[in-house]
């Protein structure tokens, strides 16, 4: 299961992974709220509930994605501490690192390597 932990604003304005071609969906669960940037206190409970409604449990491989790989790492650690045994961080994130001009999305990450995504 792929879990995108970015904010609603990022999903709306930057885009989201598109796994429909593989017959899969992506869970969108904020790790930090926007615009304050503070951690969402019920992240683990919310994600656990969404996984449970799909029949997925603690042994399900879960891949976490954010903009650059930092928030998703924290989310993967939190879910591991909550008893989920196969949590993985997508280190490059959706947009990857900053380039020499200070822009993301060109040097690495989901979009830059050509993985499927959509924008609303």
Does residue 56 contact residue 64 with C-beta atoms inside 8 Å?
A: no
- Looking at residue 8, its pLDDT comes to 95
pLDDT at 65: 98
The pLDDT of residue 20 is 97
Q: Check residue 120 and give its pLDDT.
A: 79
Q: Mean pLDDT per segment of 10 residues, for the chain of length 120 residues?
A: 97 96 97 91 97 97 97 98 98 94 92 93
Exposure class string for 33-43: b at 16+ Cβ within 10 A, else e: eeeeeeebeeb
Number of Cβ within a 10 Å radius of residue 115: 13
> What residue segments make up the domains of the chain, in order of their start?
2-118
How much is the pLDDT for 14?
95
pLDDT score for 43? 98
Is 2-118 a CATH 3.40.50.12280 domain? no
The verdict on pTM exceeding 0.75 is yes
Residue 72 has what pLDDT?
Answer: 98
| 3-class SS of residue 43 | helix
Please report the pLDDT score of residue 49 as a whole number.
98
Q: Please give the Cα distance from 120 to 108 (Å, whole number).
A: 22
């Amino acid at each position: 299961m792929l879990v995108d932990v970015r904010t609603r604003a990022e999903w709306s304005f930057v885009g989201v992974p598109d796994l429909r071609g593989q017959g899969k969906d992506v869970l969108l669960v904020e790790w930090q709220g926007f615009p304050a940037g503070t951690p969402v206190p019920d992240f683990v409970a919310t994600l656990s509930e969404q996984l449970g409604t799909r029949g997925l449990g603690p042994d399900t491989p879960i891949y976490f994605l954010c903009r650059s790989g930092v928030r998703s790492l924290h989310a993967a650690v939190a879910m591991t501490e909550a008893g989920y045994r196969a949590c993985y961080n997508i280190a490059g994130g959706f947009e990857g690192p900053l380039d020499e001009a200070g822009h993301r999305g060109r040097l690495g990450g989901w979009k830059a390597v050509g993985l499927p995504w959509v924008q609303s």
